[in-house]
């Protein structure tokens, strides 16, 4: 009897582990497709392609720095005919790297370049909570829906396309946040904080 309980327990744990692995594999597949299409949309300035991943209820926020202070603007959708915070129309990306799951590359603000080039996708990212802590009026920022849905790191993926280019400096690459809402991953925040607009 004791052996049967142990055997059933082990079987249950193995099945649970297999389900978790399958879910992670499905997330990676869905995120890989979304990242590829979002970057292609940005590269070709195709808002429709990017908007397929924007949740209509939450929109897409743009995080930026101006005079050293962190700020953000909320847009209903990506529209390259209108200003998207501090995203310049001439901002170009090459988007030539394969996706690497894991830690992201760090940006060297002093030298205006990435420490390591590549396309990095970081699961379980606490990046949005870190940004919220940097706003001067934290309480009102945390109350906004776009930040509330990003408060649980398990539902947040931070994407960094780290590209160093002399002609684009100080704007190199592209960063954005994807959030799991229900069973789908959405583009919720675009991070242009490496470019300090004055």
Distance CA 114, CA 103 (A): 13
Does the pLDDT of residue 167 top 60, yes or no?
A: yes
Specify the CATH number of the domain 2-197: 3.10.450
- From CA 6, how far away is CA 75, in angstroms rounded? 54
Q: What is the 3-state secondary structure (H, E, C) of 118-164?
A: EEEEECCCCHHHHHHHHCCCHHHHHCCHHHHCCCCHHHEEEEEEECC
What's the mean pLDDT when you consider all of the chain? 81
The residue ranges of every structural domain in the chain are 2-197
Predicted TM-score (pTM) of this structure: 0.82
What is the pLDDT averaged over residues 74-102?
Answer: 83
pLDDT > 90 fraction of the chain, expressed in percent and rounded: 42
Residues 14-35 pLDDT 10s: 444 333 333 478 889 999 999 9
Gap between the terminal Cα atoms of the chain:
73
Nearest CA to 176 among 166, 164, 165, 186? 186
């Amino acid at each position: 009897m004791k052996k049967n309980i142990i055997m059933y327990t082990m079987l249950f744990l193995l099945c649970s582990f297999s389900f978790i692995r399958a879910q992670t594999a499905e997330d990676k597949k869905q995120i890989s497709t979304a990242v590829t299409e979002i970057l292609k949309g940005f590269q070709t300035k195709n808002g429709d392609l990017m908007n397929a991943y924007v949740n209509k209820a939450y929109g897409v926020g743009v995080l930026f720095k101006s005079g050293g202070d962190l700020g953000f603007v909320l847009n209903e959708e990506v529209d390259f005919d209108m200003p998207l915070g501090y995203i310049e129309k001439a901002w170009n990306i090459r988007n030539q790297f394969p996706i690497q799951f894991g830690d992201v590359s760090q940006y060297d603000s002093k030298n205006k370049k990435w420490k390591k080039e590549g396309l990095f996708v970081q699961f379980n990212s606490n990046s949005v909570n870190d940004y919220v802590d940097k706003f001067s009026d934290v309480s009102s920022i945390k109350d906004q829906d776009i930040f509330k849905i990003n408060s649980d790191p398990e539902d947040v993926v931070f994407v960094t396309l780290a590209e160093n280019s002399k002609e684009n400096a100080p704007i190199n690459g592209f960063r954005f946040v994807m959030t799991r809402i229900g069973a789908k991953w959405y583009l919720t925040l675009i991070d242009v904080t490496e470019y300090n607009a004055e």
